[in-house]
Structure 1
Amino acid sequence: LVGGATLAAMYLPIGFALPILLAPAMVGFGQLEKHRTVFMCFTVLIVLAGFGLAQVRDDFGFGWMMWLVLVVVVTDVVGYFAGRAIGGPKFWPKVSPKKTWSGTAAGWVGAAIVGMLFSINTGVGYQLVGVSIAMSMASQMGDIAESGMKRRVGVKDSSNLIPGHGGLLDRFDGMLGAALFLLIIGQFLAITPGLN
């Protein structure tokens, strides 16, 4: 249902796409007996994020899609290794006990480097560094939000599809946050379509 709604929304004017995107959340909300609010909020966020990723691909091209992916991956990888190496105060121990402030800040630095490289090679300008850092923060918010959701409903993993990795959603929680952020602020960015 969610995949069909997202696919249909890509080929419709935005006025018709929005109710179709929100419909799966309403359908699920009516069928569940508990955790309905959590389900509805996350369904809306996931569907809008998927729509945002499709919009980036269609409107701006593969190169900018790679920028988005690299910012999220570098944030996650650099943050993980820096957090383990440096340690220090925890970011939010009750929700994500392993995340540290050092790893969080290192993720921002990694995203800034990605933004710097893309700003040089694309001629977009150095504002892309700041946008990349903000997107890094949005991806971290997606990660934290998904951890908080799991704790709220009392599960350790979001699925059993990828054993030992916290579930499929754990591989994409940062991407969801970043895609949603880009969907919201994309209209204000001077990104040139068609980067190859």
Structure 2
Amino acid sequence: MTSDRWADLRPRLISAAVLIVIGAVHIWIGGRLFLGLLSLLIGLMIWELARMTGRGGPAWLPVVFGLAAGLMLAVDEGIDNSPAWILFPPVALAVALTPRILPAATGLLALAYLAAGHGIFVIRDEAGPALFLWVLGVVIMSDVAGYFAGRTLGGPKFWPAISPKKTWSGTIAGWAGAFLVGLGFWLAGHGSWLLPVLSPFVAFAGQMGDIAESWIKRRAGVKDSSNLIPGHGGVMDRFDALAGAVLFVVALQPLVPLVMLLGAP
């Protein structure tokens, strides 16, 4: 039983290491290289979403949706003054209007992933790598702390009807880990005192992004969104929490602009 509990740990660690190296290089360099990777990831997420919720229709249709989503994001962020963002809602609407389970929820999730892709690029492009690495670090630490605490401590389930593996112990451990990430960035001089204060809320938003995907998967009757990432499942399985966290940070901007998070005067 103990070995089964940790059976997926080795492939998870190997895949995570590869993703971290690839991501770190692209985040550090930024620009079109980062945009290319981001467009690919968002396109794959839309493809997975359309594929697992589809009911009938040609097999190539999810591929078209994924290509359209990635292309719209690349054009919108890569060409100055491009109005490609106005096509985000039509792409999501096209997904919702094709035969599938939960069409409205699927369309909203597709739009959320496109908006998150835009938000990720804006945070990295306008605030630099440090602030985006804070968001990413919060999501990763929340996931890692939640994984080990949940598997070790167990206890009451967080939302058993939707995500039967998630526990309150793992959820709270994720919040604590997120706070430590924010505190570390602040103490290292990479942001304001708001970072540790907001970090648990960012982690919670990420957890809700994960819950939203889990709900869709349960209704679709699938365990993973795909098998593209060994030990993790699909791209949605790995980046759904990041999407939720980024959307939360973007939604905060009217109240807490990026310049405040960076600690600039």
Secondary structure of 1:68's counterpart equals: helix
Contact 2:72-2:85 at 8 Å conserved across structures: no
Letter in 2 for 1:22: P
Q: TM-score, normalised by structure 1?
A: 0.89
Q: Which residue of 230, 234, 237 corresponds with 1:167?
A: 234
Secondary structure of 1:98's counterpart equals: strand
Contact 1:2-1:47 at 8 Å conserved across structures: yes
Secondary structure of 2:228's counterpart equals: coil
Distance in structure 1 (CA, Å) of the matches to 2:214 and 2:101: 18
Comparing 74-83 with 147-156, which one deviates more in the overlay? 147-156
Secondary structure of 1:122's counterpart equals: coil
Distance in structure 2 (CA, Å) of the matches to 1:29 and 1:162: 26
Q: CA deviation at 1:158?
A: 0.7
Contact 1:141-1:177 at 8 Å conserved across structures: yes
Contact 1:9-1:20 at 8 Å conserved across structures: no
The residue number in structure 2 matching 1:99 is 166
Distance in structure 1 (CA, Å) of the matches to 2:153 and 2:210: 20
Secondary structure of 2:155's counterpart equals: coil
Contact 1:138-1:174 at 8 Å conserved across structures: yes
Q: Which runs of 4+ in 1 moved over 6 A?
A: none
Comparing 182-191 with 80-89, which one deviates more in the overlay? 182-191
- Give structure 2 stretches of 5+ with no counterpart: 1-67
Contact 1:61-1:193 at 8 Å conserved across structures: no
Q: CA deviation at 1:29?
A: 2.4
Q: Which residue of 102, 124, 129 corresponds with 1:35?
A: 102
Secondary structure of 2:166's counterpart equals: strand
Contact 2:138-2:178 at 8 Å conserved across structures: yes
The residue number in structure 1 matching 2:152 is 85
Alignment RMSD, CA only? 2.1
Q: Which residue of 161, 170, 191 corresponds with 2:261?
A: 191
Contact 2:192-2:263 at 8 Å conserved across structures: no
Distance in structure 1 (CA, Å) of the matches to 2:237 and 2:122: 22
Distance in structure 2 (CA, Å) of the matches to 1:17 and 1:192: 29
Distance in structure 1 (CA, Å) of the matches to 2:190 and 2:202: 19
- Give structure 1 stretches of 5+ with no counterpart: none
Letter in 1 for 2:201: A
Q: Which residue of 113, 123, 127 corresponds with 2:194?
A: 127
Q: CA deviation at 1:70?
A: 0.6
The residue number in structure 1 matching 2:46 is none
Distance in structure 2 (CA, Å) of the matches to 1:137 and 1:82: 16
Q: CA deviation at 1:137?
A: 0.4
Q: CA deviation at 1:162?
A: 2.8
Contact 2:186-2:193 at 8 Å conserved across structures: yes
Q: TM-score, normalised by structure 2?
A: 0.67
The residue number in structure 2 matching 1:74 is 141
Letter in 1 for 2:208: M
The residue number in structure 1 matching 2:24 is none
> 1:166-185: per-residue Cα shift (whole Å, max 9, x none)?
32210111111111111211
Alignment length, in residue pairs? 193
Q: CA deviation at 1:5?
A: 1.2
